[in-house]
Amino acid sequence: MATSPDPQRFMRRAIDLSRLHMEAGEGGPFGAVVVKDGEIMGEGWNQVTSSHDPTAHAEVVAIRRACAKLGAFQLKGCEIYTSCEPCPMCLAAIYWARLDRVWFANGREDAAAIQFDDAWLYREVALPPEARSLPSTQLLREEALPVFQSWDRKADKVPY
């Protein structure tokens, strides 16, 4: 796993993005950059409120932009620098994108101190669906399962 030659430079960029776009009223105080071979491939900042998109967290935006720039759905060989420890959604996106490393500045406790507390979400995700506070009901599995079985047999599928 390669490490960028100047991690502080990239972290400072993530922090600058968090400050700049928070002060501009575009969303919460979060910024992120995806780096490959010492070059920024994608930048992101929190755009939840400005884009009316609850998934528009800095890390997700940076991942989307890096994937678009690289023409790939995986970011192997890349690292992400984020101004705060990723929330569960962003952490999952980072894993799905196959990033090599996460660098973060503020911790989850720092985020909780300013009312961005993800502790409850970390707990909820670990529970079986029937024990979560959000009601979840399995429905029409028999109709959906054949689609999965077709995928399993599909000769030209692109696994991810």
Report DSSP letters for 119-160, one per residue.
HHHHHHHHS-GGGSSS------HHHHHHHHHHHHH-TT----
Would the pTM count as exceeding 0.75? yes
Q: List residues with catalytic annotation.
A: 59
Whether residue 10 contacts residue 62, with contact meaning beta carbons closer than 8 Å, is answered with no
pLDDT at position 2 over 90? no
pLDDT tens across 69-79, in order? 999 999 999 99
pLDDT band at 160 (very low <50, low <70, confident <90, very high): confident
Q: Which residue, among 44, 138, 24, has the nearest Cα to 94 in the 3D structure?
A: 44
Whether residue 35 contacts residue 62, with contact meaning beta carbons closer than 8 Å, is answered with no
pLDDT tens across 102-134, in order? 999 999 999 999 999 899 999 999 999 999 999
Q: If you ran DSSP here, which 8-state letter would residue 100 be given?
A: S
